[in-house]
Structure 1
């Protein structure tokens, strides 16, 4: 597998993929509406062309934040490889922390992040009520038919 980085001026494929996976390119991140068009990131490619995973990140309020993170192939190390790339980029950009936000329904992501070493910093209870004010199309129910209510903020210290 090969990692291909992209920048804001070269992200058409990433934007298209995020739109397919997430249903939109706009995300609510800590009370702000952000767009993948303003992100950088990486795709993980195998067999020369097929995409195995995608990562987008953004610098928000001087924090290195993962915006989207998707492994398209299960149990092959794709998530770990993408996270390793995020850590490398953050370190090279002189950040000593990586932040990620997920919702209370995303139990698989919570397990992954914690196994990787992220610590749960904060739970924003009922944060999705405010997020829906910015992005009304956020569904009421998410993965496993769990009601979408809360945000979990996790942080990985790099030093």
Structure 2
């Protein structure tokens, strides 16, 4: 493994916000109508040669842990899997009953990724991205492979506590 996984710390925060802005068009992410600000969320980074090549942010509320963002700049290297293991460990330590996330209908790669790691599709929030665009107009109309971005898909993994 040529990279190391570590918690986001204040020394990395500026790089994290820059990466999120580059990948997501803004330093904020909207899921289920809630705005997450990347300068405030905990998470993990994968570091290689002093640069971030992978990033996962999360938000814990009560007994639920939401994966807010997951980015891997080097595909098929195990970065995403390692980052997921880190957040699942935290969720268990915090006695979360559920870890969940939102992705959009165009993100076929994410849909496949999460299902392979034991996450179940539990909800389709039709036309939810139209509402999200009112909060974050930077969300494009089309996404991967020209697919119109319209719906939020909710995945979860439940834990026994």
- Does the alignment reach a TM-score above 0.5? yes
Q: Structure 1: how far apart are the matches of 2:33 and 2:62?
A: 12
What CA RMSD, in Å, does the superposition of the two structures yield over aligned residues?
Answer: 1.8
**Maintained 8 Å contact 1:7/1:39:** no
Query: What is the TM-score of this pair, normalised by structure 1?
Result: 0.91
Q: Judge conservation of contact 1:103–1:151 (CA < 8 Å) in 2.
A: yes
Aligned residue number for residue 122 of structure 1 = 123
Listed as ranges, the matches of 1:44-83 within 5 Å are 44-46=46-48, 48-60=49-61, 63-83=64-84
Is 1:140 matched up with 2:135?
no
* SS in structure 2 at match of 1:17: helix
After the TM superposition, which parts of structure 1 deviate over 6 Å for at least 4 consecutive aligned residues? none
Q: Any stretches of 5+ residues in structure 2 without a counterpart? A: none
Tell me the secondary structure at the aligned position of residue 89 of structure 2. Answer: helix
Residue matched to 1:95: 96
Find the counterpart in structure 1 of residue 8 from structure 2.
Answer: 6
Q: Is the 8 A contact 2:98 2:157 kept in 1?
A: yes
- Count of residues in Structure 1 that have an aligned counterpart in Structure 2: 158
Counterpart of 1:27 in structure 2 is 29
Q: Which moved more, 1:61-70 or 1:105-114?
A: 61-70
Q: CA deviation at 1:15?
A: 1.2
